[in-house]
Amino acid sequence: MIAQRRTLIALAALAIACGIGALPLILGSDHQTTRGLVAALVLTSAWGFVGTGLYAWYRRPQNRTGPLMTAVGFSWFVFAIASADNAYVFALGSLVSALPFAILIHLLVGFPSGRLQGRAQRFVVISTYLLVTVGQIGWFLFAEPSAEGCDNCPANPIRIGNDAGLGEAINTVQVLVASGLIAGAVAIVFRRWRRSTPDQRRALSPVVFTGSLAFALLFVQLAVNGAQVSERVEQVAFIASIVVFACLPFAFLVGLLRSRIGRDEELRSALSAENEQLNEKLRAKVEELRASRARIVEAGYEERRRVERDLHDGAQQRLMALAMTLRLARGKLDSEPAVSGALLDEAIEELTTATGELRELARGIHPAVLTDRGLAAALGGLAGRSPVPVEVLGTPAERLPAAVESAAYFVVAEALTNVARYAHAEGATVSVARSDGVVEVDVRDDGVGGANPEAGTGLRGLHDRVAALGGELAVSSPAGEGTAVRARIPLAG
Amino acid sequence: MRVVVADDSTLLREGVVRLLEESGMEVVGQAGDGEELLRKVRAHKPDVAVVDVRMPPTHTDEGLRAARKIRAELPEIGVLVLSQYIEVAYARELLAESAEGLGYLLKDRVADIATLADAVRRVGGGGSALDPEVVSQMLGRSRRDDPLDELTPREREVLALMAEGRTNAAIAAELVVTDRAVEKHVTNIFSKLDLPASSEDHRRVLAVLRFLDQPGS
């Protein structure tokens, strides 16, 4: 805020200095016929716009109307430059002499938020800027003001052609385009007027009224410049412009301060950008949630299918084989007791395998020790059963919420299964640490790396399991450098 | 040998009872949960209580808790814990004080009459019976600068059997070597692992298990 205030004060001081500097240029000009009037126009408009602009800037720092008004104010000083007697300074001033009107149109079209909305507004404003820069240069390269009514004007030092007709033609095109753009700006303003609520009209009315007057005067001036009229009429028109242009900034200021809608609008446009981003994020999140929910449901079915398959291929087959073996043994009990005994041994063998498989299957569905004794015990068991040597570096001493323990356990279990299957590792480490309301699970091995987390359903399932608790899972597996699986699970879901 | 059997599954309990009775033991009481087990043990003062880990009402670790209570209250009674899953964490809890008169077996082993009867006899006689799976999990743990690396394969076999609670004679029979050979292996193991030598079997078991169970250092 303080920095902003300093900027505003510096700009005000600069405007005063420019005004004082402009006076001798205008008043001492050889070619300005109405020096006093030009000086009055420049000073009232420039200081009026800068003063009101800075005030508006100060009152509504988020609104761009203030800065735009200030810019219009400063741009008036180009008339002082165009008043210079030095040929080059005069040429420079002439080149930029239409700039104030362009910024004015920008201001008017963007009022009251100061922001351009929609293609039409941008088109009009950008075209106007192009016209007063590129178009102006095009005209000035062929124009010779000293030969076209401005008797005391210095010779144009950057003229490249002698063709007066071409300069005039460009000028005519410029005027036509300018008229079109002004008409466009007026149309935009009136369209806004027509669509606005009574409240908004209260804010727009001073600007629309004074603005229309100013543009009407611009048209008159364009007409006056074209036609030969008496000096008296020219002077009256000029004085009228001074009055209107002096009033214009105050009209903008009053309009801006009246505009509650404008304030809302500037807030809205500042918010809407942020809103848009948030919406975008939200949509992505919802999409991700929908997808992961679908995957979790699918994973549930997949899990059932797996259990069914394991039971069918494993225990069920073995038990059926067992029944057959026992029947065979029963049949040979009397005739071939030795064979019968061997068959019974075989049956016992099959039965032992079947119970072992059932045990592992049940443990895979849910490890009882995890519920009974917590992560440290369950992970110790996992590490002990792993065919690859596993070192458990640390686990939280206290019990964690069941869902978190379960997720952490399955992250480690799946990671260790992958280590055993694919990593060709000499060893692996497991650590689970709690810090700042987050549980960090870290499983890494010294194997071949190169694992693709997108490829396996196992890791995908883990990702969903962790994401369901608001956590995240990261797998890093550069080829030749081992694999690290890391999960961060928040304790308060 | 007098035994109390606790298991909430009637099918399994009666199977165990039948096997024990076939092996010439006397089953003096049966229980379906931890409370009942404690009552029966206090009443009958058996030589051994055979206890399933998971029992009502919570179906988590009732049997384990009852087993620890028996060991604290009536240390002269041997306890053989049967579990659907072998977890080193459970073994560690049971072994907290001593390995004397303690057994911890995978439930599947009961199908083998000889294994079950042998374990009950050992536990009833003040010895230990630890499931080979517990031992292999402990042996399989990753340690930095693992002193176990210095053992020969045969010495590792002997170490595992020792950890299960077998006597030298039993180890010799299992590996088909002489008692003398086993003694030599045991001496080597103790000196390599820097353990205090002990002639008493249950002290020896505890020392070995403590060693195997210490965190990877």
The rounded distance, in Å, linking the Cα atoms of B217 and B208 is 16
Report whether pLDDT(A375) > 90. yes
Burial class (CB in 10 A: 0-12, 13-18, 19+), A212: middle
Cβ-Cβ contacts under 8 Å, A390 against chain B: 141-142
B174's CB contacts (< 8 A; 6+ apart) are B161, B166
pLDDT of residue A438: 94
Name the more confident of A273 and A348. Answer: A348
Per cent of chain B over pLDDT 90 is 50
What is the number of alpha carbons within 13 Å of residue A66 lying toward its C-beta?
20
pLDDT of residue A275: 82
Report whether pLDDT(A59) > 60. yes
Q: Is B84 on the interface with A (CB under 8 A)?
A: yes
Which is the CATH superfamily of the domain at B2-130? Response regulator (3.40.50.2300)
Q: Is B213 on the interface with A (CB under 8 A)?
A: no
Name the more confident of A386 and A456. Answer: A386
The rounded distance, in Å, linking the Cα atoms of B185 and A481 is 41
pLDDT in tens, A218-233: 777 767 665 666 677 7
pLDDT in tens, B19-50: 999 999 999 999 999 999 999 999 999 999 99
Name the more confident of A121 and A221. Answer: A121
pLDDT of residue B216: 46
A372, A391, A444: best mutation site toward chain B, by most B Cβ within 10 Å?
Answer: A372
| Average pLDDT value for residue range A167-173 | 78
Domains of chain A: 2-258 (1.20.1070), 294-365 (1.20.5), 373-490 (3.30.565.10)
Residues in chain A: 493
| Average pLDDT value for residue range A195-199 | 79
Q: A29-37: which pairs have CB atoms within 8 A and are 24 or more residues apart?
A: A29/A83, A29/A84, A29/A85, A30/A85, A30/A152, A31/A83, A31/A85, A31/A90, A31/A150, A31/A151, A31/A152, A31/A153, A31/A154, A32/A83, A34/A235, A34/A238, A35/A83, A37/A235, A37/A238, A37/A239, A37/A242
- Least confident range of A64-78, A158-172, A428-442, B95-109: A158-172
Cβ-Cβ contacts under 8 Å, B112 against chain A: 348
B87, B136, B137, B145: best mutation site toward chain A, by most A Cβ within 10 Å?
Answer: B87
pLDDT of residue A297: 81
Report whether pLDDT(A6) > 60. yes
Cβ distance of B61 and A372 shorter than 8 Å: yes
**How high is the mean pLDDT of chain A?**
82
Burial class (CB in 10 A: 0-12, 13-18, 19+), A401: middle
Report whether pLDDT(A482) > 50. yes
Cβ-Cβ contacts under 8 Å, B52 against chain A: none
Cβ-Cβ contacts under 8 Å, A355 against chain B: 108, 111
pLDDT of residue B199: 65
Assign B217 a pLDDT band (cuts: 50, 70, 90). very low
What single string gives the DSSP state of each residue in chain B? -EEEEE-S-HHHHHHHHHHHHHTT-EEEEEESSHHHHHHHHHHH--SEEEEES--TTTSSSHHHHHHHHHHHH-TTSEEEEEESS--HHHHHHHTSS--TTEEEEEGGGGGSHHHHHHHHHHHHTT-EEE-HHHHHHHHTS--TT-GGGGS-HHHHHHHHHHHHT--HHHHHHHHT--HHHHHHHHHHHHHHTT----SSHHHHHHHHHHHHHS---
| Average pLDDT value for residue range A313-342 | 88
Cβ distance of B87 and A389 shorter than 8 Å: no
- Least confident range of A47-56, A306-315, A368-377: A306-315
Cβ-Cβ contacts under 8 Å, A391 against chain B: 141-144, 216
Cβ distance of B85 and A352 shorter than 8 Å: no
pLDDT of residue A22: 81
Cβ-Cβ contacts under 8 Å, A381 against chain B: 87-89, 137
Q: Is B52 on the interface with A (CB under 8 A)?
A: no
Per cent of chain A over pLDDT 70 is 91
What is the number of alpha carbons within 13 Å of residue A389 lying toward its C-beta?
13
Assign A192 a pLDDT band (cuts: 50, 70, 90). confident
Q: Is B87 on the interface with A (CB under 8 A)?
A: yes
Name the more confident of A455 and A77. Answer: A77
In DSSP terms, A430 is beta-bridged to A392, A443
| Average pLDDT value for residue range B64-80 | 94
Which residue in the set B60, B108, B137 is minimally distant from A385, CB to CB?
A: B137
pLDDT of residue B184: 92
Cβ-Cβ contacts under 8 Å, B108 against chain A: 352, 355-356, 359
Which residue in the set B88, B111, B144 is minimally distant from A381, CB to CB?
A: B88
Report whether pLDDT(A259) > 50. yes
pLDDT of residue A450: 84
Cβ distance of B137 and A363 shorter than 8 Å: no
User: Min CA distance, A389 vs chain B (Å)?
Assistant: 5
Residue type, A148: E
Report whether pLDDT(A152) > 50. yes
Name the more confident of A449 and A1. Answer: A449
Assign A117 a pLDDT band (cuts: 50, 70, 90). confident
Map out the domains of chain B as residue ranges. Answer: 2-130, 136-213
pLDDT of residue B202: 65
Report whether pLDDT(A153) > 80. no
Name the more confident of B123 and A147. Answer: B123
Cβ distance of A359 and B85 shorter than 8 Å: yes
User: Min CA distance, A427 vs chain B (Å)?
Assistant: 8
Report whether pLDDT(A164) > 80. no
Report whether pLDDT(B84) > 90. no
| Average pLDDT value for residue range A92-101 | 80
pLDDT of residue A369: 87
Q: In CATH, which of 1.10.645.10, 1.10.10.10, 3.30.300.10, 3.40.50.300 is domain B136-213?
A: 1.10.10.10
pLDDT in tens, A425-454: 999 999 999 988 999 999 999 999 888 766
Cβ distance of B111 and A352 shorter than 8 Å: yes
Residues in chain B: 217
Report whether pLDDT(A173) > 80. yes
B52, B58, B92, B141: best mutation site toward chain A, by most A Cβ within 10 Å?
Answer: B141
Cβ-Cβ contacts under 8 Å, B116 against chain A: none
Which residue in the set B85, B111, B216 is minimally distant from A391, CB to CB?
A: B216
0.80 surpassed by pTM: no
